[in-house]
């Protein structure tokens, strides 16, 4: 039984080793109310190729109100630019 499980896990490892697909892109943003033009351009090129997950860097230094406000601002800006982000729901 154990040897069968080890062989099965080797097969899975072999499959994942050769899978060159990108499954998601964590895109780190500065904790700044303005998105940089370069960030917007790059996200616009990526969003239709790979699920895009924006992450606010150093968000732990912000208050809860600042985080909420920044999240809303980033979502609105990306929506205005037509950039789709991954939806966890």
Given a contact cutoff of 8 angstroms between Cβ atoms, the answer to whether 72 and 78 are in contact is: no
Mean pLDDT of 68-82: 95
Length of the chain, please? 89
* The predicted structure's pLDDT at residue 25: 94
Whether the pTM exceeds 0.75: the reply is no
17-56 pLDDT, tens digit per residue, is: 666 777 899 999 999 888 999 999 999 999 999 999 999 9
CA distance 53 to 72: 15
SS3 9: helix
What gap in Å lies between CA 62 and CA 60, rounded to an integer?
5
């Amino acid at each position: 039984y154990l040897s069968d499980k080890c062989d099965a896990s080797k097969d899975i490892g072999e499959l994942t080793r050769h899978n060159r697909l990108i499954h998601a892109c964590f895109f780190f943003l500065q904790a700044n109310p303005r998105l940089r033009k370069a960030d917007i351009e790059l996200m616009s090129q990526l969003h239709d190729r790979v699920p895009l997950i924006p992450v606010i860097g150093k968000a732990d230094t912000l208050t809860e109100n600042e985080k909420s406000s920044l999240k809303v601002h980033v979502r609105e800006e990306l929506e205005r630019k037509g950039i789709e982000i991954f939806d966890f729901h």
